[in-house]
Amino acid sequence: MEWSLRELRFFLTAAEAGSFTEAAAQLHVSQAAVSRTIAALEKTAGDRLLRRVPRGCELTSTGQQLLPQARRVLSEADRFSEFLTSRHRILRLGYAWAALGRHTTRLQRDWAKQHDSIDLDLVRHNSPTAGLAEGLCDVAIVRRPADEKRFDSLVVGLERRLVAFASDDPHWSRRRQLSMAEIADRTVIIDPRVGTTSGELWTGADHPPRFLESTDVDNWLDAIAAGRGVGTTAEATAHHHVRPGVSYRPIKDGPRIAVRLAWRRDDRPNGLEDLVDAVTRLYATA
């Protein structure tokens, strides 16, 4: 059984207008085209849908049953068409833990003022590519190198590395900064899927820390607040995730963290160049 949206639209228009002539005028086609198209739908349905009367046309019993279904299908089709159109007007920016830290709000406000035709939407997804590989975003903020076979990426800024610890820590609560060696003496909580902390940070050190894995940023913060360990993270995390019971301090000898924008190699999104320029300027003027 084959039918078309055109056939449903012609049938619905004629049924609501109560006239083939009026339907033809609304659809900007000939009356003969309306008749042929509805006849094709009636052949598929195996029954008459509209009967001609002196003043136009009226629904048959079968037509009355088909009408609400036709409305529903056409409504869904219209929504699908709107999606196809609007998706080109939205640039989805994904992130896993933290977006751009203190620059996030400024980016959103400046973008809204300067881009009438493309909306910028932030999407949070806890995966190594912040939703890029899953098709949930068009561009992703990542702080680890992306797979070069699948994604293009560009470093747009650098962030300080911070240590996060329980605010009532008896040894660190009054400290203004800490060192990588001091952190190595503690249990360090990491997210191995998306985090920027691994044993490589202590290569060549006297001893590496003991690691405890977490599943996402909320689980990471909960464990730190409970005193189960400490963590190292990008500066943006401190801006995005202010948590009672958790304090952040700079690591004086901690390596900086590169902030990258990544996108699929075979799908360069609209607005990418403007986004790269905007984010780069924000980090450059920090």
Query: Considering the domain 88-151+266-284 in this protein, what is its CATH number?
Result: 3.40.190.10
Q: Judge whether 5-85 and 88-151+266-284 match in fold.
A: no
pLDDT at 87: 60
The C-alpha atoms of residue 238 and residue 242 are separated, in whole angstroms, by: 6
Q: Torsion-angle region of residue 168: left (phi > 0), alpha (psi -120 to 50) or beta?
A: alpha
Q: Torsion-angle region of residue 108: left (phi > 0), alpha (psi -120 to 50) or beta?
A: alpha
Q: Within a 10 A sphere around the Cβ of 277, how many other Cβ atoms?
A: 11
Summarised one tens digit per residue, pLDDT across range 238-259 is 999 999 999 999 999 999 999 9
For 50, the enclosing helix (H) or strand (E) is strand 50-53
pLDDT at 1: 65
Q: Which fold has domain 5-85?
A: Arc Repressor Mutant, subunit A (1.10.10)
Per-domain residue ranges for the chain? 5-85, 88-151+266-284, 161-255
Give 235's contacts (C-beta < 8 A, 6+ positions apart): 101, 159, 160, 161, 162, 257
> What parts of the chain have a pLDDT lower than 50?
none
Q: Is 11 helix (H, G, I), strand (E, B) or coil?
A: helix
pLDDT at 81: 80
pLDDT at 83: 74
Q: Which fold has domain 161-255?
A: D-Maltodextrin-Binding Protein; domain 2 (3.40.190)
CA distances to 87, 183, 275 from 93, in Å: 13, 33, 10
Summarised one tens digit per residue, pLDDT across range 78-107 is 888 877 666 668 899 999 999 999 999 999
